[in-house]
Structure 1
Amino acid sequence: MPEQNFSTTAAPEGESVKTNSIQQIRYVCSIAAMHSASAIPGVIPITHCGPGCADKQFMNIAFYNGFQGGGYGGGSVVPSTNATEREVVFGGADRLRELIESTLKILDADLFVVLTGCISDLVGDDVGSVVSEFRSKGVPVVYAETGGFKGNNFTGHELVARAIIDQYVGSYEGPSEPGLINVWSLLPYHNTFWRGDLTEIKRILEGVGFKVNILFGPESQGVSEWKAIPRAQFNLVLSPWLGLQTAQHLEEKYGQPFLHVPVIPIGAMETSAFLRRVVAFAGLDPMVAEAFIAREEASYYRYLEDFSDFYAEYWWGLPAKFSVIGDSAYNLALTKFLVNQLGLIPSRQIITENPPEEYRQQIALQYQNIAEDVSASVGFEEDSYRIHQIIRNTSFGHKPPIIFGTTWERDLAKELKGAIVEVGFPSSYEVVLSRAYVGYRGALTLLEKIYTTTVGASA
C-alpha cells in the first residue's frame, strides 16, 4: 500500500485539508487483485512479493470482510516468493522461477496468474521473461505487474483482467454470438456481497434471454467463459466506473461494443428499468423480457405488500435520513433504492475507493438526479477521521440516522444514537455466504437487514 496518501476532498463547510496519512483505510494495494484471480473458478494466483503481503490481503479483504474464506485458489493456498533482502540485492527472478516450478508440482489449476509486489517492481525483475519460459512449454500462466505504487486493488483488478485477456484469451477473428454478453461489475471479495450479487445479476439477465459470461464467482464456468469473451455480442459494464477500462480495451481489441450502466439495480423499479435498457441495446425479443419482469415484479410486490403492514405501524419510530459511506458502486445503488423505494431522505454520501479523477464528475452527476426533485450531497474521501468529522457535522433532523457503512462506523453510529448497516469493506460483524442485496431478490434481503437492524437498535 502506498506510504503516502493525500486527502483533499469532501471537507466539511467547504474546507479543504491536506494530510499525509489516512486513518482506517477502505481499500488495499493493487496486489490484492490476487482475489480477482482466485474469484475465477480453477484459477490460482502466484504472488512475487515480500513476506506477509499476500496474507495481509487475504486477512483484510476476504476474512475480516464478511469472513468469506479463500476458496479453491485463494487464502492460504496462494504461493508466494516471500522476497527478502537477498532478492532486493540480487533480484528475484530465480526465486520466482523456482516457485512456479514447485507450484506446478503441487497445485492443479486451469490458469495461474503471477502478480508482482513492490519489491519485484522496484528492483526491476523481468517477470514477463520468467513467465514466458513456462508459457512456451504449454503452462497456462500469465502475469500482471501490481506493485502497490500502481494504485489500489481496484486498479489491480483492471490489470489482472487485461493480463488474462491479452496473454491467455488472445486474438479472435470469428463471428460474435447474438445474446451472449460479458458482465463487468462488482470487485470480487472487496465487495462483501459480490458472490450473491453476481449470482442475482446473472439470473435476471438470463431470465430476459441472455447468455451470460459472469466471469467471476460460483456461477462462472471459469476459464472457458474467459475464452468465450471475444465471441460476446457486447460487454456490459454495470458499475459507475470499474470495468470501463477493460470494456474500452475489448472494444479496441475485438471491435466489441459496450453498454455502460452506472447504477447497479436494487429493487423492482431499478431492476426492471435496467433489464429493459439492456434488452433494447441488444435487440432481443421484448416479449420474453416483459414476461420475466412481470413474474418477478408480481413476486416482489407480494412480499412488499406484507412488509407494508410493519412499515405503516412503525414508521414513526424508524429513521428518516441516511448516509452511505462506501465505494461508488454500492453507494449510488443504495442511495437510489433508499430514496425511491423507501422514501428516505439522503443526507451526506461519501465515496471512499478513490476513483480516478476522470470519472469523478460523471459519478457526482448521478447524485443530482436520484429521484424527481431529489438530489444528494456527495463527496470523495478516503480518511476515516475526515469522514467521521463530516458525518458528525451533518444534520439528520430530530430522528436518529441510519448509517450504511463499514465496521469503522460502528462507534460513530453509537455516538449519533443511530443504526449501522455494514455494506462494505471492512465488514467484521457480518458472516456472508451467498447473500445478495441487488436485483429483485437481493432487495428483499436488504429490507430485512435494514429493519431488523433498526428495530434492534431501538430496543
Structure 2
Amino acid sequence: MSDHISSINLTDKKKTNSIQQVRYGCALGAFHSAVAIPRVIPIAHCGPGCVDKQFMNISFYNGYQGGSYGGGAVIPSINASEKEVVFGGSDKLRDLIAASLKVLDADLFVVVTGCIADIVGEDVGAVVREFQDKDVPIVFAETGGFRGNNFFGHEQITKAIINQYVGEYNGPKETGTVNVWSLLPFHNTYWKGDLIEIKRILQGAGLKVNILFGKGSKGVSEWKSIPKAQFNLVLSPWLGLETAKYLEEKYNQPYLHIQTIPIGAKETREFLKKVVDFAGIDTKKVDAFIQEEEKIYYSYLEDFSDFYAEYWWGLPAKFAVVADSAYNLAITKFLVNQLGLIPSKQIITDNPPLKYRNAIKEEYKHISSDVSTDVEFYEDSFIIHQKLREADYSHKPPIIFGTTWERDVAKDLNAKIVEVTFPASYEVVISKSYVGYRGALSLLEKIYTTAIGGSA
C-alpha cells in the first residue's frame, strides 16, 4: 500500500497523523467480500472484537444490510490473546478450522488474518495447506489491518480465491461470457441492488454474466468458471484493475476498463455499446434491448416532467458529492448530463492508489461536452467539511450527496442531503439500486423527495 497516501498533510489543522471519521474499514474488513459470495464463510485469525467492529461499521451502520449467510455473528474467530502473540496461534487456528468444518455448511471457507497474526509472522498458509491437501475447500488471505484498507483487502481475497481455489485452466474461452469486477461489497451501500441491475442490463445486451458477488451470483461454481470467460469487465475508476491484470497474466484473458458506472439512459446506452463492441457479438439484441428500456425510462420521465416544470424554481441547482470514487464519478455525470445540475465540490474518500488518480481526474475534466470540474481526494472529515463550507453554491442552498457525517454540515448550509455511501446510517437498504435504467429512476425519486420535503 505504499502508493496510498493520507490527506492529513494537506490541511492547516494540527498534524496528528490521525483521520477524523474514517470512511473505510481496515484490510480485515474485506472479509465482507467473502461473505458476499453465496455460501462462502470467512474464518478470522485475529484479536477479539476485530470482526465485530468491522461488521458493525461496514455492514450494520451502513444501510443496515445484515450479515447474509456467512457474515456477522456467524464468522468464527480464534480471538487471539497474549498467549497467541507470544507462542503463536497455529494450533488454535487449526482447531478452529476443524470445528468450523463440523458445524458450518459452506461451499468455501476463507481464512483472513488480522494485525496480530501478520505482525508476529504467523504461517497461516501452512495451516490452511494442511486442509487443502485433504481436499477441503479453503483458502487464506493476509489482511492485517496495517496493510491497507478494505479496498486493498478485497483484491487480496479475490486473488486468493482465484489462485488457491479456482486454479489453473488452459481450455477454450466462451465467447460472450464476461466476469464483472465492480463495486466493493457491503462498503458500497447499494451494492446488492446495483450488481443485480448491472447483470440484468448486460444479459439484456446478449452477454452471459459472471457477476461473482451478491444475490445474482451462483456462488463458487461461478468463480470456477472465471477462466472460461471471454473477457473481464472492470466497471469502476480503479477497484478491480489489479485483479483483471492478474487474470490477464494467469489465463491470457483480456479486460475492458470502463471507469463510469452507468446511471440513467445516456450513460447506460454508451456503456452497453462499449461492452458489446469489445465482445464482438451481434448488436441486434443490444439495440433492441436499449430501445425497449429507453421507451420505458423516458415514459416515466415524461410523467416526472409535470412535477419538474412546476417546482424547478425551488429545486437545488448546484450539488456536492462526497463519496468513494465509483459513486462519486457516476453520480456526478448523471446529475450534470441528465439533470443539468451544476457541480460545486467533488471529494473522493476511498484513498485510491496514486497511480490511478490522474486518470480519475481526467474523467472530471470531461464530465460533458461543455462541463469540466475538479475533484479532490480527502479522507479526513475535518478537511472534507471545511471544503464543503467553503464551496460556492451561489444564492440557492445546494444538495449534498454524501454520508451520515455530512448531515450537520448540510444543516449549517441549509442544504438537503442524500446518503449514497459509507456510512449511511439514515438509510435501510434491502435491494435498492441507483445504477442502470431502473436505479436511475429510484435515484430521481430519492433526490426530489428529499428536495421538496426531506429533512437535512
TM-score by length of 1: 0.97
**Is 1:194 the equivalent of 2:191?**
yes
Partner Cα separation in structure 2 for residue 9 and residue 345 of structure 1: 29
Q: Deviations over 1:391-448 (max 9, x none)?
A: 1000101000100000000111011000000000000000000000000000000000
Q: Which of the residues 258, 267, 271 maps onto 2:268? A: 271
Q: Deviations over 1:135-186 (max 9, x none)?
A: 1111100000000111000000000000000000000010000011000000
> 2:5·2:351 contact (CA, 8 Å) conserved in 1?
no
Report how far residue 7 of structure 1 moved: 2.1
**Is 1:208 the equivalent of 2:208?**
no
> 1:66·1:428 contact (CA, 8 Å) conserved in 2?
yes
Q: Which of the residues 90, 94, 99 maps onto 2:96? A: 99
Moved more, 17-26 or 307-316: 17-26
5+ residue gaps in structure 2? none
Q: Which of the residues 223, 227, 230 maps onto 2:224? A: 227
**Is 1:394 the equivalent of 2:391?**
yes
Report how far residue 373 of structure 1 moved: 1.6
Partner Cα separation in structure 1 for residue 354 and residue 212 of structure 2: 27
**Is 1:283 the equivalent of 2:285?**
no
Distance 1:17-1:349 versus aligned 2 partners, 3 A rule: farther
Amino acid at match of 2:320: S
Partner Cα separation in structure 1 for residue 5 and residue 24 of structure 2: 12
> 1:131·1:143 contact (CA, 8 Å) conserved in 2?
yes
Cα-Cα RMSD? 1.7
**Is 1:371 the equivalent of 2:363?**
no
1:253 is paired with a residue whose SS is helix
Q: Deviations over 1:39-64 (max 9, x none)?
A: 00010000100000000111001100
Q: Which residue of 2 aligns with 1:349?
A: 346
1:404 is paired with a residue whose SS is strand
Q: Which residue of 2 aligns with 1:425?
A: 422
Q: Deviations over 1:182-234 (max 9, x none)?
A: 00000000000000000000000000100000000001000000000000000
Moved more, 162-171 or 92-101: 92-101
Q: Which runs of 4+ in 1 moved over 3 A?
A: 8-11, 15-19
Q: Which residue of 2 aligns with 1:152?
A: 149
2:427 is paired with a residue whose SS is coil
2:209 is paired with a residue whose SS is strand
**Is 1:109 the equivalent of 2:106?**
yes
> 2:8·2:18 contact (CA, 8 Å) conserved in 1?
no
Report how far residue 10 of structure 1 moved: 6.5
Report how far residue 6 of structure 1 moved: 3.7
Alignment of 1:5-404 (within 5 A): 6-8=6-8, 18-404=15-401
> 1:319·1:401 contact (CA, 8 Å) conserved in 2?
yes
Distance 1:458-1:101 versus aligned 2 partners, 3 A rule: closer
Amino acid at match of 1:158: E
Report how far residue 20 of structure 1 moved: 1.0
Amino acid at match of 1:96: L
Partner Cα separation in structure 2 for residue 458 and residue 136 of structure 1: 57
Amino acid at match of 1:168: Y
Partner Cα separation in structure 2 for residue 275 and residue 128 of structure 1: 41
Partner Cα separation in structure 2 for residue 235 and residue 457 of structure 1: 40
> 1:47·1:115 contact (CA, 8 Å) conserved in 2?
yes
Partner Cα separation in structure 2 for residue 193 and residue 338 of structure 1: 18
> 1:7·1:17 contact (CA, 8 Å) conserved in 2?
no
Partner Cα separation in structure 2 for residue 377 and residue 247 of structure 1: 28
1:323 is paired with a residue whose SS is strand
Partner Cα separation in structure 2 for residue 276 and residue 214 of structure 1: 19
Report how far residue 8 of structure 1 moved: 4.4
5+ residue gaps in structure 1? none
Partner Cα separation in structure 2 for residue 48 and residue 70 of structure 1: 19
> 2:8·2:380 contact (CA, 8 Å) conserved in 1?
no
Partner Cα separation in structure 2 for residue 205 and residue 316 of structure 1: 38
> 2:7·2:377 contact (CA, 8 Å) conserved in 1?
no
2:453 is paired with a residue whose SS is helix
Percent of aligned pairs with the same amino acid: 69
Amino acid at match of 2:348: I
